Amino acid sequence: MKWLLITLACIQLSECLLRVPLWKGKSGLDVLHENGLLEDYLKNHKSDPCAKFNVPSCPQTLDTNEPMVNYLDLSYFGAISIGNPPQSFTVIFDTGSSNLWVPSVYCSETSCTKHRRFNPRESSTYYSYNQGVSIQYGTGAMRGILGYDTVRVSNIVIQKQEFGLSTSEPGGFFGYVKFDGILGMGYQSLAAAGATTVFHNMMSQNLVDEPLFSVYLTRQNGASGSEILFGGVDQSHYTGQIQWVPVTHEAYWQIQVDRVTINGRVVACFEGCPAIIDTGTSLLVGSTSDITNIQQSIGATESYYGQYSINCNNMQSMPDVVFTINGVDFPLPPQAYTLQNNYNNERSCSSGFGGSGGSLWILGDVFIGEYYSIFDRGNNRMGLAKAV
């Protein structure tokens, strides 16, 4: 996961883009806090997202299809358990990081006590060599120790899985999120403290039919049905052919974008650009200059804090934004890249594109919601198909 962004709707105390940031820089929660909006935002979104979708305690499923709660189209998380007997947690399945960690009873900060905390003394199979782990986020951080225990994801039981137990979560950010921890699905080389990733152990312990996983994200302001499938592909979630794209760097799930066009005119990635497919980023993020070109081309206007608003009445006439990847066009229609929010019965629309200071693009949930995404570790490639 890379960062947290904020839209105009956030300024109106509507549905913010809450996500855990990994890039250094100011997050959306920072902006809310600095402008005295954070408490009001939390009051307006204090309901339990698990209860919203009739899973009061987010119990784990007995299928390799791991259901994920869609929280306001902004973050997606599912249930796992750790230890014997199992202790349950909700986690972001994040393709933009590689560590599994959860809060622990060794942490007494509010950001920990607001969530489920792992208690090593209550697990008969836990052990640790007291190796430290530290992950710095754009807002806050996780610090703790590495432990080993049984981890259950869906019906998959992983023995002696390495995971982080937070003893401190500086910055307080994790006290505001709806999930307990993070389960990184990136490559091994990205893992802090050299911890073995969950999916690496799934493969090495022969727990998946194929060395891949696939992700389906619903949009529609929190609709149910989102899932991550370990070891397979669900044909009911896409239409047409799967387009395979090679991974160009094995850390993030990084690929190469040929160009970005609108009405046949190149507006970004003029000479190609690197991009990552990241389930932990809400928006579609690119370099500031390229994103500015896109915003102008779709008719978005700059509003507050560098964000862009869209006239909801213009959506029918707005153009597709086409990403050409490995020679294949992947169009994003206005309905995909426009974030629609309702607050106090007032509809507002904002752009799903965000600018950054770097050259690495992030194809986040805005993109993945439109294209079913297959993360193929066995062949180091991404599969993309039109989601249905």
For the segment 278-297, what is each residue's pLDDT rounded down to a tens digit?
998 999 999 999 999 999 99
In the chain, which residue ranges form alpha helices assigned H by DSSP? 8-11, 28-34, 38-44, 49-52, 110-113, 198-204, 288-298, 334-337, 365-368
What is the rounded distance in angstroms from the CA atom of residue 127 to the CA atom of residue 254? 34
- Let me know if 94 is a catalytic residue: yes
Classify each residue of 84-95 as buried b or exposed e, where b means 16 or more C-beta atoms within 10 Å of its C-beta.
Answer: eebbbbbbbbbb
Catalytic one among 73, 149, 180, 278? 278
pLDDT in tens, 19-34: 333 333 333 443 444 4
Beta strands in 247-352 (DSSP E): 249-250, 253-262, 265-268, 273-277, 284-287, 301-302, 308-310, 321-325, 328-332, 338-343, 346-351
What is the rounded distance in angstroms from the CA atom of residue 110 to the CA atom of residue 114? 6
What is the rounded distance in angstroms from the CA atom of residue 110 to the CA atom of residue 73? 26
Cβ atoms of 135 and 119 closer than 8 Å:
no
pLDDT in tens, 200-220: 999 999 999 999 999 999 998
Please report the pLDDT score of residue 33 as a whole number.
44
Rounded alpha-carbon distances, angstroms, from residue 140 to 51, 77, 88, 117 = 27, 20, 24, 18
Catalytic one among 30, 73, 94, 149? 94
Ramachandran area for residue 327 (φ above 0: left; ψ -120 to 50: alpha; else beta): left
Inform me whether the pLDDT recorded for 233 exceeds 90. Answer: yes
What is the rounded distance in angstroms from the CA atom of residue 316 to the CA atom of residue 335? 9
State the SS3 of 161-173.
Answer: EEEEEEEECCCCH
- Let me know if 73 is a catalytic residue: no
pLDDT in tens, 92-139: 999 999 999 999 999 999 999 999 999 999 999 999 999 999 987 656
What's the pTM?
0.85
- Mean per-residue pLDDT, 351-378: 95
> What structural domains and CATH numbers belong to the chain?
53-229 (2.40.70.10), 234-387 (2.40.70.10)
